[in-house]
């Protein structure tokens, strides 16, 4: 029976060995302990213990500072290795909110892979460092950001006018004078947050007059357009330059035409308000776990939406690699959380409670953000596979024929049953003022004003039955036998028929639209029958036959879709 004794001895020694191994693993092999043992401050070695940043209001207990020792409160180890680097400067103290509030990751974990969340089964991985600014989106919703083109012009103006000679912005520029004078001009990186003196230009000029020599002598007069650009640039300096650029690219790409962010935008696509919080474990993408996987999925999704989301109706985003990167940054920043009121930043209150827009409400930005996704950045229409063509809304031939009222009504009421939403009526649509701004911008894009011909709205009085025959012959091929649309737009749309004047319909058929599939039917052509003026009039009369008498007010008050259904 001695065998049992030996087995007992050996297995007990084995258990002892394993327990010792567990102790060693727990106490000596932990990464953070090794880092802290290696760390030295000016006074000598750093005491080894688990450090954490706690914020009970936000429910955070982040142990990141156990490795990133320099960021722990009161610790000043020498930066002998990258992990001991200090936190870059921020407008607010990073310790105030804990680490994971902005960066994501598992604050409780104490080894790198888990803490950074780049493991399977952690839904909120740490944002990669190059996308760190996306973390601002947890609390902040910057307002009044222009679209990318406008922002780029504003930046170029700032650089062209040589402001960087004296001022430092986002870590660039500024001149350090020898002696005790310090920087020539103030750092402008945060002026968008802190506000700035709008009289700065006059004051600069005054300075130049009083001190013509020295650095001030380089200051030149600035014209109105450039002053406006500088204002845009300065207002967008909120300490997160790449995030602002990303947001600008998001507007430039026209995503809001289909997607909502914080309740504003179209409803064709999914709401993106929490798009940055997608769980990487559920995404169909390459690239390991955690944030690399999420970033790869987003990039792949932009380049070819239907390859990662089955049956996606989203057209591919045609942007440069750099812009896609910025777009990814902005998408990652869509991670807004509910915050206790004491932690809600001012910009968030302004956008969520006071109705301030996150986008700048100038024509360029509004058009880019809401319209360009379908109608193209220059308003020349878009054509993507498997979908009817989107009309060229800034076409001069169109703009000459339609009044601003027509354009406003079209934007406000949309095209029921088609993809064009009623922007004045849907949730998260546009205000009347914004729609007017868009119309003005369309006029600017197309470079054409309305040229009224002085006729009443309805003047055609012709034979609709003759028009029907002609329609079958000349129009049905593109616009559908019942005007339901096909290659060309739907013509039986009640909102179109109500807003369109007879002259608009007549002249459009007569002159066509240059550069599109709509020919001028008054011109002889082998491709289509030539129509005389009275024939065109009868076609217009036939189109009018689709117009059903609307019950009073239903068109202006009821929801267009439900109003449609209620009609006989």
Element (H, E) at 441: helix 432-446
Residue 331 main-chain phi, psi, to 5 deg: -60, -40
For the CB of residue 303, give the shortest distance to other proteins in the complex, in Å: 17
β-partners of residue 77 are 41
- Of residues 15 and 79, the one with the C-beta less far from other proteins: 15
- What span, in angstroms and rounded, lies between the C-alpha atoms of 560 and 417? 9
- Of residues 36 and 351, the one with the C-beta less far from other proteins: 36
127 and 117 in contact (C-beta within 8 Å)? Answer: no
For the CB of residue 374, give the shortest distance to other proteins in the complex, in Å: 31
Is residue 19 within the footprint of other proteins (CB under 8 A)?
A: yes
Is residue 238 within the footprint of other proteins (CB under 8 A)?
A: no
Which listed range, 20-28, 127-135, 328-336, 453-461, lies at the site for other proteins (CB under 8 A)? 20-28
Interaction with other proteins in 48-107: which residues (CB under 8 A)?
106
Query: First and final CA of the chain: distance in angstroms?
Result: 99
143 and 357 in contact (C-beta within 8 Å)? Answer: yes
Among 35, 39, 67, 109, binds other proteins (CB under 8 A): 109
Q: And the tokens for 439?
A: 């119309």
For the CB of residue 341, give the shortest distance to other proteins in the complex, in Å: 24
Query: Whose CA is closest to 32, among 97, 112, 101?
Result: 112
Q: And the tokens for 276?
A: 């940055």
Interaction with other proteins in 118-147: which residues (CB under 8 A)?
120-123
- Of residues 281 and 345, the one with the C-beta less far from other proteins: 281
Element (H, E) at 394: none
β-partners of residue 60 are 55
Binding-site string for other proteins from residue 270 to residue 309, where x marks contact by CB under 8 A and - marks none: ---------x-xx-x-------------------------
Among 57, 76, 80, 108, binds other proteins (CB under 8 A): 108
Q: Which residue in the block uniquely carries the two structure tokens 């896609």?
A: 324
Burial call 3-36: b when 16+ CB within 10 Å, e when fewer: eeeeeeeeeeeeeeeeeeeeeeeeeeebebbebb
For the CB of residue 327, give the shortest distance to other proteins in the complex, in Å: 24
- Of residues 26 and 498, the one with the C-beta less far from other proteins: 26
For the CB of residue 13, give the shortest distance to other proteins in the complex, in Å: 9
- Of residues 6 and 321, the one with the C-beta less far from other proteins: 6
- What span, in angstroms and rounded, lies between the C-alpha atoms of 99 and 538? 71
For the CB of residue 120, give the shortest distance to other proteins in the complex, in Å: 8
Residue 121 main-chain phi, psi, to 5 deg: 70, 25
Quote the longest CA-to-CA distance of the chain.
118
- Of residues 62 and 564, the one with the C-beta less far from other proteins: 62
- What span, in angstroms and rounded, lies between the C-alpha atoms of 290 and 121? 8
- Of residues 70 and 114, the one with the C-beta less far from other proteins: 114
For the CB of residue 311, give the shortest distance to other proteins in the complex, in Å: 16
Is residue 405 within the footprint of other proteins (CB under 8 A)?
A: no
- Of residues 91 and 120, the one with the C-beta less far from other proteins: 120
Is residue 30 within the footprint of other proteins (CB under 8 A)?
A: no
Residue 418 main-chain phi, psi, to 5 deg: -105, -175
216 and 207 in contact (C-beta within 8 Å)? Answer: yes
For the CB of residue 14, give the shortest distance to other proteins in the complex, in Å: 4
Q: And the tokens for 1?
A: 């029976």
For the CB of residue 276, give the shortest distance to other proteins in the complex, in Å: 17
For the CB of residue 204, give the shortest distance to other proteins in the complex, in Å: 55
Binding site for other proteins (CB under 8 A): 1, 3-5, 7-8, 11-12, 14-15, 18-19, 21-22, 25-26, 106, 108-110, 114, 120-123, 279, 281-282, 284
């Amino acid at each position: 029976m001695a065998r049992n004794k030996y087995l007992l001895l050996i297995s007990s020694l084995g258990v002892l060995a394993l327990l010792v191994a567990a102790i060693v693993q727990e106490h000596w092999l932990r990464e953070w302990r090794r880092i802290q043992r290696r760390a030295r401050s000016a006074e000598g070695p750093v005491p080894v213990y688990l450090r954490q940043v706690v914020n009970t209001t936000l429910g955070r207990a982040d142990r990141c500072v156990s490795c990133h020792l320099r960021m722990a409160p009161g610790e000043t180890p020498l930066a002998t290795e990258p992990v001991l680097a200090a936190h870059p400067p921020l407008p607010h103290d990073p310790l105030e909110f804990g680490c994971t509030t902005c960066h994501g990751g598992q604050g409780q974990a104490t080894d790198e892979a888990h803490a950074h969340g780049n493991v399977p089964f952690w839904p909120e991985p740490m944002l990669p460092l190059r996308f760190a600014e996306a973390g601002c989106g947890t609390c902040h919703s910057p307002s009044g950001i222009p679209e990318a083109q406008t922002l780029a012009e504003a930046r170029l103006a700032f650089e062209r006018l040589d402001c960087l000679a004296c001022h430092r912005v986002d870590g660039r520029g500024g001149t350090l004078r020898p002696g005790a004078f310090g920087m020539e001009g103030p750092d402008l990186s945060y002026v968008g947050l802190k506000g700035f003196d709008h009289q700065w230009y006059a004051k600069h000029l005054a300075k130049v007059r009083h001190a013509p020599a020295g650095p001030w002598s380089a200051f030149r007069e600035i014209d109105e357009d450039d002053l406006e650009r500088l204002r845009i640039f300065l207002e967008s300096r909120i300490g997160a330059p790449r995030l602002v650029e990303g947001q600008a690219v998001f507007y430039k790409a026209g995503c809001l035409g289909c997607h909502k962010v914080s309740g504003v935008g179209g409803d064709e696509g999914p709401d993106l308000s929490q798009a940055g919080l997608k769980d990487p474990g559920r995404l169909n993408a390459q690239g390991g776990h955690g944030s690399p996987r999420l970033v790869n999925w987003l990039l792949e999704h932009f380049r070819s939406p239907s390859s990662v989301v089955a049956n996606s109706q989203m057209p591919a985003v045609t942007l440069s690699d750099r812009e896609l990167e910025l777009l990814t940054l902005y998408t990652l920043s869509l991670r807004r959380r509910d915050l206790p009121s004491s932690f809600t930043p001012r910009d968030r209150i302004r956008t969520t409670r006071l109705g301030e827009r996150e986008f700048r409400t100038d024509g360029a930005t509004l058009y880019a953000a809401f319209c360009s996704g379908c109608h193209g950045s220059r308003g020349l229409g878009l054509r993507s596979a498997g979908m009817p063509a989107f009309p060229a809304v800034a076409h001069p031939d169109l703009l000459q024929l339609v009044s601003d009222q027509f354009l406003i009504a079209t934007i406000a009421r949309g095209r029921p049953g088609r993809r064009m939403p009623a922007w004045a009526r849907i949730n998260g649509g546009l205000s009347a003022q914004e729609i007017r701004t868009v119309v003005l911008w369309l006029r600017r894009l197309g470079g054409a004003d309305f040229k009224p011909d002085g006729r009443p709205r309805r003047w055609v009085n012709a034979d609709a039955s003759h028009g029907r025959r002609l329609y079958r012959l000349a129009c049905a091929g593109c616009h559908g036998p019942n005007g339901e649309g096909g290659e060309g737009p739907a013509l039986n749309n009640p909102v179109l028929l109500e807003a369109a004047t007879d002259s608009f319909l007549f002249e459009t058929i007569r002159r066509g639209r240059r550069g599109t599939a709509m020919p001028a039917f008054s011109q002889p052509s082998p491709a289509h029958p030539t129509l005389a003026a009275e024939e065109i009039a009868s076609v217009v009369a036939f189109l009018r036959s689709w117009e059903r008498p609307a019950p009073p007010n239903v068109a202006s008050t009821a929801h267009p879709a439900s109003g449609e259904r209620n009609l006989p």
